[in-house]
Structure 1
Amino acid sequence: METTNMEETDQGIDEFLPEETGQFLRHIPEEVISKVLSGLPIKSLCRFKCVCKSWKSLISDPKFSLITSRGRERAIFWDERTPSFYSLDRDLVLEKLPSPLEKIPDCANQECLFLGSCDGLLLFRVSDTVLLWNPSTRCCRRLFNLNLMAKDYVVEASGLCFDESIREYVVILALFGGRRGDRRIVLSASLSTKIHKRICFPYEICYLANSGISVNGNLHWIIQERKGDPQLIIYFDAKASRFSKLPMPKYNVGDSTHIFGLGVLDGCLSMSRFGNIWNQEHANEILIMREYGVEESWTTLCCLPFKVVGGLGWLGWLPPLFYTKKNKEVLVTNGVHVSVFDLRDKSLRDIHLPKLPNFYQCHMYLESLQKVHPLNPDESMGKEKEKLVICKD
């Protein structure tokens, strides 16, 4: 099990602090320290874990990590030409990230595919290898080999979520294929125990979206049960270990039921769909579910005009990645352009990112201190153990 970790060392240095400094720190209320630290950059927090044991304990607390992730949305881009990862913040500043693939054998210079994200952790695959990465702490870990785990199957959909019942992150994989080529199975894989279990998938479908969106502790995908039917949103409740349908927004006459994608905007589930076919100004509608699970809370955030791209025709916009620092603007992409839409004057302007190609993969993640724990030696799963969970017809 290979792990790369670029976090600062977390060894306490209390004994190296001057006595008067230590006395001063011990008399500051923890809530004051927490408020001050929560406004600092993630890189600084990684270093400040070394100040003293109490700061290390505070910064390492998962609750503190969730507090510091608010307002730290970023977009990550994968440039397959270089290959390189780039991160764009809410100030629209582009930064090249150290690639985790260079440290992991057989992964360097391979194509990357994002599979999902949760609490600042990114799940992606390189060839048949699935990896977990925190871009903020530069920590990455190889999870498992898909070819060994599910031979003769391809990944149809995937996602990463936190299971409150076991206090653990789990990977959800929807696999299609098998020796007959027509079988669909869904697996849940715990990151700590490496136990894979089958989950009942109660739908007969002809379409299932690829990367699951984590909101309110659940994973969400787009499905279509039969050709010509409206597209729907389903979610996986990790605690109950079951799939259900999410209430959809009401449709008006002329509204299309085609969904371009799902996303998260300011903690709410968002959706981009083909708008009203009779109104070109509402060709691409962005909706937000203000109150999770409540049908009436679906609200139209904005409507975007389609863009014509040479050789590709009209391209629809994906859900906004995040609000910019101005708060009245959202960052959007259609797979070719990266643009900012102003919610006040309804204007759309392209962002020039010369380091990125015309075509790229893009995903939203949060800056966070969530750890990517390596497995203990007695829990590690080599090829021999992985073969035990190969799915057979």
Structure 2
Amino acid sequence: MAKSLNEKVKNYIPNDLVFSILSKLPLKSLKRFRCVHKTWSVLFENPIFMNKFRTNLITIPHSYYDDTSILLNQYVYDPDNGICRSLYLLSGERFENRVKLDFPNPFKIEEPQFDVLQSGSITGILCLYSSYPSNEIVLWNPTINEFKVIPHSSVDSVPPYRHIHKEIFGFGYDPISEDYKIITYVYFSRVNDQSILPPNVNWEDFAHSREISYEPVWEIYSLRCNFWKKIDIPLPICCYCKGEGLYMDGICHWPATCEDDGQHYLVSFYLNNEVCFITPIPIDINFDENYIVQKKLLMLNGSLACILWYKYTTTYHILFLGELGVKESWTKLFVIELSDYIGYPIGVAKKCDIFFLKGDGELVYFDLCTEMIEKLGCIKRKHYSTKIIIYKKNLVSIEK
């Protein structure tokens, strides 16, 4: 009888203890453990457990944010000076302290027109890009004010004579090879002005040439090798959301939308072995054919998430991804209901502060824990681009 009682005690775990342990697990692990016990299979339907899980997900400190700062990158119109780019280091309890950083000027031109890739800089290196003077890419370490101009790839050279367009979709650090890498999509258009051709090239022969390829190519750059190479990525024919990517743990992610059926995807590219995963994003918000679904990738306290909403509406749905390549692993954990429209999400600070850009150019942030909205006190201006970037200081040279 004593042995039977011991077995019962051994096999019994109080629900409070189960909830406490399971609520601290990553989403991927939690979904896998649902098959262990019958009561665990319905955890996502238990409001008490889900409240615990949400709270832990956004409040338990993640090592990703150790010793990090927040960068605010703005591209705005100033009535006195025209279009201006600026980069600020934000600090303080309410991000009230700002220090302006000066962009590097590797091309010795007045007011270099750089933008900052939003994919992040947890390793202390920023990726700057500019269509002027000529699709230039620069890596920059603001801590030691060191920069490196990235060389052009072979597809940038002529002949054949064609207009070259380049978009950056990913930048990050490969911890296995200890190398920084950049992913670009290069596409071409026809030259319609014969004046740009050398005197020895006949316009009629050029215009009817079948040897000139206009097929787009994907390329990846290795800082360690200082070399570009072409890559083949099995991607659907999509309208890509340039400049909207994220970098996490050796993987570059960016959103995409299929032109044929409007399906939304998450594209995930492993920098080390160059393997790509396509994960459909379920648009499980009330469908309205009068509105286009907006989406934005976020990293909330170290977890990959996607926020969905209709433009000019006040409801935002936040889905978290459990496993790459598995559509069913997306789980909606938050629905933000607001009385007023707070605009377009532009990034996330430490843990759970989601920054928004309002229609009038004002910057605000929404605390996911307290559900409070705070203003940043910025001057209202017309914004062409505004981003929030997580940054960690790095005293190591880019070349090492």
Same fold (TM over 0.5): yes
- Structure 1 equivalent of residue 398 of structure 2: 373
Q: Percent identity, aligned pairs only?
A: 16
**Structure 1 residues 239 and 148: alpha-carbon distance in aligned structure 2, compared to 1, 3 A threshold:** closer
Query: Distance between the aligned counterparts of 1:306 and 1:224, measured in 2?
Result: 29
Native 8 Å contact 1:199 1:242 kept in 2 = no
Residue 189, structure 1, aligned to residue 189, structure 2: no
Query: Distance between the aligned counterparts of 2:285 and 2:386, measured in 1?
Result: 33
**Structure 1 residues 118 and 131: alpha-carbon distance in aligned structure 2, compared to 1, 3 A threshold:** same
Native 8 Å contact 2:278 2:325 kept in 1 = no
Deviations 1:238-287 (A, max 9, x none): 2221222135357255388834321322222122212699xx552x3233
Query: Distance between the aligned counterparts of 1:135 and 1:144, measured in 2?
Result: 20
**Structure 1 residues 353 and 242: alpha-carbon distance in aligned structure 2, compared to 1, 3 A threshold:** same
Native 8 Å contact 1:269 1:288 kept in 2 = yes
- Structure 2 equivalent of residue 254 of structure 1: 287
**Structure 1 residues 322 and 289: alpha-carbon distance in aligned structure 2, compared to 1, 3 A threshold:** farther
- Select between 125-134 and 139-148 the one with higher mean Cα deviation: 139-148
Query: Distance between the aligned counterparts of 2:223 and 2:282, measured in 1?
Result: 35
**Offset at residue 372 of structure 1 (A):** 4.0
**Offset at residue 131 of structure 1 (A):** 0.8
Query: Distance between the aligned counterparts of 1:334 and 1:165, measured in 2?
Result: 40
- Structure 1 equivalent of residue 114 of structure 2: 112
Query: Distance between the aligned counterparts of 1:105 and 1:203, measured in 2?
Result: 35
Deviations 1:24-54 (A, max 9, x none): xxxxxxxxxxxxxxxxxxxxxxxxxxxxxxx
**Offset at residue 87 of structure 1 (A):** 2.2
Helix, strand or coil for the counterpart of 1:105?
coil
- Structure 1 equivalent of residue 170 of structure 2: 159
State the TM-score, normalizing by the size of structure 2: 0.62
Query: Distance between the aligned counterparts of 2:389 and 2:157, measured in 1?
Result: 28
**Structure 1 residues 203 and 235: alpha-carbon distance in aligned structure 2, compared to 1, 3 A threshold:** same
Residue 121, structure 1, aligned to residue 125, structure 2: yes
Counting matched residue pairs gives 296
**Structure 1 residues 276 and 193: alpha-carbon distance in aligned structure 2, compared to 1, 3 A threshold:** closer
- Structure 1 equivalent of residue 186 of structure 2: 175
Task: Give matches, 1:80-119, under 5 Å.
Answer: 81-89=83-91, 91=93, 92-102=95-105, 104-115=106-117, 116-119=119-122
Query: Distance between the aligned counterparts of 1:275 and 1:209, measured in 2?
Result: 16
- Structure 2 equivalent of residue 24 of structure 1: none
**Offset at residue 124 of structure 1 (A):** 1.2
Native 8 Å contact 1:289 1:299 kept in 2 = no
Structure 1, unmatched stretches of 5+, are 1-65, 309-314, 376-393
Letter paired with 1:352: G
Give the aligned CA root-mean-square deviation in angstroms.
3.6
User: Larger Rg: 1 or 2?
Assistant: 2
State the TM-score, normalizing by the size of structure 1: 0.63
- Structure 2 equivalent of residue 39 of structure 1: none
**Structure 1 residues 250 and 227: alpha-carbon distance in aligned structure 2, compared to 1, 3 A threshold:** closer
Deviations 1:185-207 (A, max 9, x none): 11010012112111112224240
- Structure 2 equivalent of residue 272 of structure 1: 307
Native 8 Å contact 1:124 1:130 kept in 2 = yes
Helix, strand or coil for the counterpart of 2:104?
helix
**Structure 1 residues 69 and 349: alpha-carbon distance in aligned structure 2, compared to 1, 3 A threshold:** closer
- Structure 1 equivalent of residue 355 of structure 2: 331
**Structure 1 residues 244 and 94: alpha-carbon distance in aligned structure 2, compared to 1, 3 A threshold:** same
**Offset at residue 219 of structure 1 (A):** 0.7
- Structure 1 equivalent of residue 255 of structure 2: 222
Query: Distance between the aligned counterparts of 1:216 and 1:257, measured in 2?
Result: 31
Q: Which of 77, 92, 95 is the matching residue for 2:73?
A: 77
Query: Distance between the aligned counterparts of 1:257 and 1:216, measured in 2?
Result: 31
**Offset at residue 78 of structure 1 (A):** 3.1
- Structure 1 equivalent of residue 344 of structure 2: 317
Letter paired with 1:333: L
Letter paired with 2:180: Y
Letter paired with 1:233: L
- Select between 106-115 and 121-130 the one with higher mean Cα deviation: 106-115
Query: Distance between the aligned counterparts of 2:333 and 2:263, measured in 1?
Result: 19
Helix, strand or coil for the counterpart of 2:177?
coil
Native 8 Å contact 2:235 2:278 kept in 1 = no
Query: Distance between the aligned counterparts of 2:120 and 2:86, measured in 1?
Result: 19
Query: Distance between the aligned counterparts of 2:293 and 2:64, measured in 1?
Result: 36
**Structure 1 residues 332 and 316: alpha-carbon distance in aligned structure 2, compared to 1, 3 A threshold:** closer
Native 8 Å contact 2:146 2:397 kept in 1 = yes
Query: Distance between the aligned counterparts of 2:140 and 2:339, measured in 1?
Result: 34
Helix, strand or coil for the counterpart of 2:151?
strand
Helix, strand or coil for the counterpart of 1:176?
strand
**Offset at residue 227 of structure 1 (A):** 3.7
